[in-house]
């Protein structure tokens, strides 16, 4: 045991100040005050942090995962959340640590994936006396099971590099069932490896494979969206140049795939924007990464020799670093007519920005031509004094036409409803 | 292998502490160890660990401690005997341990400082892999990102190797991502230098 006599209160106090201020504790006086990098050394390109410039402003920014423990219901930020007149926000379910992507069975049972805690939850459809819904853990010990999709009685769960199917899931909500492997023919990179999945109107499974880092020339196997038969066979790439999509849905009118894409980091506080994209010609379109971002901005390193006109431009820009994740078309009838066919988009909120941006739910309304006519905030209040009180991950139009919103920071699901 | 041996060495100490019901390591008089941490400090020390393979906990970020105890409890991170110890912890226990451990005095390196050649190599590796981007310029961490300065050398080396092989899945995948590019000699240099900060 190292003698403790030389430490004591002074050292403890110095230590407490370290996190915020960055001075050295007394013991390290022999070494130079900082591990600051010499400016000429660059990171390997596989690193998620590749591209960070030198300088104290940039050094203050880093992604920080939310807590592994859910916020108790009484401490949820419900009183801070804001919606337009006529709408209301209430708690749907709490206690789902790290609640991420959602899917719903026809009976109203909601399934929720996670990224950091290895669990998949089921939220029962019947509300309890307090109006909230009971949560069951149907699987645990999985590796970043972010993606869930319900189809024909089965639940498809996407882990980092593996997709499994839980048959007849509604009869097995107490867990313990062995799933069937759908495919594990997927890259194993941790960077942008967690997945949103969904099953399209063509009864095929859609699976994104993100770029394995911030900015790089990706291998042919990455920065794309694939689709495959429900048994994992006949996989094909349907969209390229997609850096990291964590949410998509099909336009109920055109049946075309719309998806969000997270723009690169470390170019600037203010560019590039995250994108909302439309796939009109499966297999033929390239959406720009790593050559062109936000449809207008050639990459400072990889853009040389290219023009943004070579690539499919986004349908809408969603703000810089806002982490635009889950999105769904509004197919319900509960909300006013203005919301019919509109797109709700969950924004997790930025980390790569000094003044945080995002951390809300947007609504993108389409014009008569089917193009995005406006984007505006719909549910706000998660961002308070440049700190997150919650972080939306996914949105889902519930069977009754209300909108469910998952929050992985608090481990909760909120319900937005409308009453005249 | 040395790391594993260290873990097993830790077990008798833990048992002794449990049986006797007292702390083996006496805390400094003016920084009493919270009662809750009596068993912890038996192996981990009252801030600075003297046991091979057992990390120092002093000044550790409370949010990080919560993530690790959670991973032990859920068996996401396997490291005997911590999985058994954490198995019965409630969420409130995790929060309370996180808060208490953060109050222990930060670990200190008591030997000679890193020599100039090691320092140069390690600082180049720190720059290349951007350790300070998340862990801070002084490597003391923030929020759920751990303090690593003055951590035990063999523990740092084993952690980096385990992130690289994905044997240790991070609570967040950031360390698994950045460790992919680490060379063995970089791991050796980083561990040696950061332990001596």
pLDDT at A50 over 60: yes
The domain locations on chain A are: 78-418
Instruction: Kindly report the average pLDDT of chain B as a whole number.
Output: 86
Would you call B123 and A38 a contact, using CB atoms and an 8 Å cutoff? yes
pTM: 0.86
- The answer to whether position B46 is within a domain reads yes
Choosing among A35, A146, A219, A388, which should be mutated to test the B contact, i.e. which has the most B CBs within 10 A?
A: A35
- The answer to whether position B106 is within a domain reads no
Domain identity same for B85 and B130: no
Instruction: Kindly report the average pLDDT of chain A as a whole number.
Output: 89
pLDDT of residue A21: 32
User: Please, are residues A405 and A78 in contact by the beta-carbon 8 Å criterion?
Assistant: no
The pLDDT of A271-299, averaged and rounded, is 98
Lowest mean pLDDT among A96-100, A249-253, B125-129: B125-129
| Pairwise CA distance, residues B150 & B183, whole Å | 21
CB atoms within 10 A of CB B93: 15
- The answer to whether position B189 is within a domain reads yes
pLDDT of residue A177: 80
Q: Among B70, B101, B132, which residue terminates a domain?
A: B101
Choosing among A137, A146, A175, A190, which should be mutated to test the B contact, i.e. which has the most B CBs within 10 A?
A: A190
Domain identity same for B75 and B155: no
Domain membership of residue B163 as a residue range: 116-195
pLDDT higher at A54 or B152: B152
User: Please, are residues A344 and A361 in contact by the beta-carbon 8 Å criterion?
Assistant: yes
CA angle B24, B96, A15 (to 5 degrees): 70
| Pairwise CA distance, residues A394 & A148, whole Å | 11
What percent of chain A lies above the pLDDT cut of 70? 88
Which residue numbers in chain B have pLDDT < 50? 1-30
ipTM over 0.85: no
| Pairwise CA distance, residues A114 & A143, whole Å | 9
pLDDT of residue A420: 74
pLDDT of residue A384: 96
User: Please, are residues B179 and B160 in contact by the beta-carbon 8 Å criterion?
Assistant: yes
pLDDT of residue A60: 76
| Residue A46: band (very low, low, confident or very high) from pLDDT cuts 50, 70, 90 | low
CA distance A64 to chain B (A): 7
| Residue A64: band (very low, low, confident or very high) from pLDDT cuts 50, 70, 90 | confident
Q: In chain A, which residues have their Cβ closer than 8 Å to the Cβ of B140?
A: 18-19, 22
Would you call B109 and A28 a contact, using CB atoms and an 8 Å cutoff? yes
Domain identity same for B123 and B185: yes
Domain identity same for B127 and B92: no
Domain identity same for B78 and B42: yes
pLDDT of residue B36: 87
CATH number of the domain to which B161 belongs:
1.10.760.10
- State pLDDT tens for residues A274-285: 999 999 999 999
For the domain with range A78-418, which CATH number is right: 2.60.120.260, 3.30.110.60, 2.120.10.30, 3.30.420.40?
2.120.10.30
pLDDT of residue B20: 38
- The answer to whether position B175 is within a domain reads yes
A295 DSSP assignment: T
- The answer to whether position B108 is within a domain reads no
Q: Among B63, B78, B101, which residue terminates a domain?
A: B101
Domain identity same for B25 and B94: yes
pLDDT of residue A124: 98
The pLDDT of A54-71, averaged and rounded, is 83
* E strands, A59-179, in order: 87-94, 99-104, 110-114, 120-127, 133-139, 147-151, 154-158, 163-166
The pLDDT of A298-325, averaged and rounded, is 98
Domain identity same for B81 and B139: no
Residue among B162, B157, B131, B140 nearest B52 (CA) = B157
* A268 Ramachandran zone, left/alpha/beta (phi>0; psi -120 to 50): beta
pLDDT at A360 over 90: yes
Q: Which residues pair with A120 in a beta bridge?
A: A139
| Pairwise CA distance, residues A382 & A380, whole Å | 6
- The answer to whether position B110 is within a domain reads no
pLDDT of residue A160: 96
Please count the structural domains in chain B: 2
């Amino acid at each position: 045991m190292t003698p403790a006599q030389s430490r004591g209160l002074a050292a403890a106090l110095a230590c407490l100040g370290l996190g915020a201020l960055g001075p050295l504790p007394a013991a390290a006086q022999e070494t130079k005050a900082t591990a600051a990098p010499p400016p000429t050394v660059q990171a390997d390109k596989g690193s998620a942090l590749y591209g960070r410039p030198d300088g104290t402003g940039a050094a203050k920014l880093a992604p920080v995962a939310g807590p592994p423990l859910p916020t108790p219901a009484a401490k949820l930020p419900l009183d801070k959340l804001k919606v337009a007149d006529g709408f209301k926000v209430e708690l749907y379910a709490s206690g789902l640590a790290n609640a991420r992507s959602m899917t719903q069975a026809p009976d109203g049972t909601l399934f929720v994936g996670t990224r950091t805690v290895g669990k998949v939850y089921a939220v029962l459809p019947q509300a309890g006396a307090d109006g909230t819904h009971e949560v069951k853990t149907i699987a645990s010990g999985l590796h970043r099971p972010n993606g869930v999709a319900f189809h024909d009685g089965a639940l498809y769960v996407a882990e980092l590099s593996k997709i499994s199917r839980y048959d007849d899931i509604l009869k097995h909500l107490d867990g313990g069932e062995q799933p069937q492997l759908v495919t594990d023919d997927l890259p194993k990179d941790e960077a942008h490896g967690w997945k949103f999945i969904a099953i399209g109107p063509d009864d095929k499974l859609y699976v994104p494979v993100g770029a394995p880092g911030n900015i790089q020339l990706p291998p042919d196997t990455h920065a794309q969206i694939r689709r495959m038969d429900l048994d994992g066979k006949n996989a094909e790439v349907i969209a390229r140049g997609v850096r990291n999509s964590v949410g998509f849905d099909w336009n109920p009118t055109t049946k075309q795939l719309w998806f969000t894409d997270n723009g690169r980091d470390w170019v600037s506080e203010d560019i590039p924007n995250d994108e909302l994209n439309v796939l009109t010609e499966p297999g033929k379109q390239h959406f720009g990464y790593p050559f062109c971002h936000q449809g207008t901005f050639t990459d400072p390193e990889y853009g040389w020799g290219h023009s943004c006109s070579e690539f499919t431009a986004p349908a809408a820009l969603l703000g810089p670093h806002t982490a635009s994740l889950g999105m769904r078309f509004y197919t319900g009838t509960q909300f006013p007519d203005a919301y019919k066919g509109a797109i709700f988009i969950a924004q997790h909120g930025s980390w790569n920005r000094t003044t945080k941006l995002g951390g809300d739910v947007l609504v993108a309304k389409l014009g008569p031509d089917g193009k995005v006519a406006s984007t505006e905030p719909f549910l706000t209040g998660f961002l308070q004094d440049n700190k997150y009180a919650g972080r939306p991950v996914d949105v889902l139009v519930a069977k009754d036409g209300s909108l469910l919103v998952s929050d992985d920071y608090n481990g909760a699901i909120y319900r937005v409803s409308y009453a005249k | 292998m040395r790391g594993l041996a260290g873990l097993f060495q830790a077990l008798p100490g833990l048992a002794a502490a449990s049986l006797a019901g007292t702390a083996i390591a006496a805390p400094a008089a003016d920084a009493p160890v919270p009662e809750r941490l009596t068993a912890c400090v038996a192996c981990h020390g009252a801030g600075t660990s003297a046991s091979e393979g057992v990390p120092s906990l002093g000044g550790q970020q409370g949010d990080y401690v919560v993530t690790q105890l959670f991973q032990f409890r859920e068996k996401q991170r396997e490291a005997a005997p911590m999985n058994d110890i954490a198995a019965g912890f409630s969420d409130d226990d995790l929060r309370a341990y996180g808060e208490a451990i953060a109050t222990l005095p930060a670990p200190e390196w008591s030997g000679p400082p890193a020599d100039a050649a090691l320092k140069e190599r390690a600082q180049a590796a720190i720059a290349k892999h951007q350790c300070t981007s998340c862990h801070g310029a002084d490597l003391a961490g923030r929020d759920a990102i751990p303090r690593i300065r003055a951590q035990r050398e063999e523990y740092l080396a084993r952690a980096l190797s385990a992130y690289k092989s994905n044997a240790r899945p991070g609570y967040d995948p950031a360390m698994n991502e950045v460790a992919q590019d680490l060379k063995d000699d970089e791991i050796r240099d980083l561990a040696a230098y950061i332990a001596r900060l």
